[in-house]
Amino acid sequence: MDTILSPAPFLTHVNSLFAEIETWLRTAGLKILKTDIEINEEDYGSYHAPKITVLSPAGTELAEITPVGASILGANGRVDMQGFADKIILLDMAAGGPSRNNSASAGKSEATTRPLFRGIDSAGWYWVENRISNKAHKLNSELFFDLLAEVADYAPQQ
């Protein structure tokens, strides 16, 4: 019989992420609107998660930051940030991130483990470059506003 797992660790991480984002946004004079969404995953069943909408000081919608799920190959969870111009994906990664072994058959020596993405030194939320590079960047305030500019073409007044 299939066991339904608990999405609680994912929701804890999402709540921590959203608390940080809220602090960054308020410091920049931006507003947020919190709502609730339902997620349905084979491993976790149906559950509720918070979603935030980023608003300009004038109340214009800039971006939606939406949890997508906890069952993600190579990550512990995913949150999307969608603006009018683009969408970026944030991944909840364990330290080191997903890896691949670089040798042939097990037991034939010289097996080396290489990370699938570079730059995942500690656990946390990461944005992975979508181009030729396979570099992951840990989310911080500066990166968050760079990503907001990317998806919504918006930079807060300093």
Partner 1 sequence: MLPNNEVDSAWQAYQITLDCLKIASHAVFKNDMALLNKTSFFGSPHQTAHNQIEASRRDADDYVILAMWAAFERTLLGAVQAESQRMLAGTPGDLAIAVHGKMAHEIEYWRIDDVLNLFKVIIDPHLIGQTKQVKQYRDWVAHRNLKKGSPQMVLPQTAYRILAEMLRQLPA
List of residues contacting partner 1 (CB under 8 A): 40-46, 68-69, 71-74, 78, 82, 84-87, 89, 91, 98, 100-106, 111, 116-117, 128, 130-132, 134, 153
Give me the least distance between CB of 114 and partner 1, in Å please: 9
Q: Which is nearer to partner 1, 19 or 114 (CB)?
A: 114
The torsion of the CA quartet 146, 151, 154, 158, rounded to 10 degrees, works out to: -20
Q: Which is nearer to partner 1, 84 or 122 (CB)?
A: 84
135: CB partners within 8 A, 6+ apart: 117, 118, 119, 128, 129
Q: Which is nearer to partner 1, 142 or 153 (CB)?
A: 153
Q: Which is nearer to partner 1, 105 or 157 (CB)?
A: 105
38: burial class by Cβ within 10 Å (0-12, 13-18, 19+)? exposed
Residues 55 and 31 sit within 8 Å (Cβ to Cβ): yes
Which helix (H) or strand (E) is 17 found in, with range? helix 8-27
Give me the least distance between CB of 27 and partner 1, in Å please: 26
Give me the least distance between CB of 130 and partner 1, in Å please: 6
Give me the least distance between CB of 117 and partner 1, in Å please: 8
Q: Residue 158 corresponds to which tokens in the numbers above?
A: 């300093």
